[in-house]
Amino acid sequence: MPVINLYWRLLPDYWGKGLAGDLGWHALDIARSVTHLADELIVARMLPGNAGSVRVAEKLGLTRCSDLDGEAYGVRWILYTAAVMVP
């Protein structure tokens, strides 16, 4: 299914400074300012044990969506989602 993939990855020197959260907010702002994306689903995919990534998704207001969890090449992924257009 077509989705907007929201992804964050920083060099270790930059972890723990709030940057992933800030960048995530800006990315969501940009997506929500683009009219033709209004009906799209924003998806963040991560490993279940990636506590930092899970926390960033939760702080951005994304919702855990286990229906979309999956596995590829023997690796299990969990999904967090948000609508582009918030009613």
Interface with ligand COA (CB under 6 A): 8-10, 15-21, 46, 50-53, 55-56, 59
- Determine the 3-state secondary structure of 86 from DSSP: coil
Return all residues near 20 (Cβ < 8 A) that are at least 6 apart.
8, 10, 52, 53, 56
Least separation, in Å, of the C-beta of 53 and ligand COA? 4
| C-beta closer to ligand COA: residue 10 or 83 | 10
Task: Identify any residues that bridge with 11 across adjacent strands, giving them in sequence order.
Answer: none
Which residue is closest to ligand COA by CB?
52
| C-beta closer to ligand COA: residue 21 or 32 | 21
The C-alpha atoms of residue 67 and residue 87 are separated, in whole angstroms, by: 22
| C-beta closer to ligand COA: residue 9 or 36 | 9
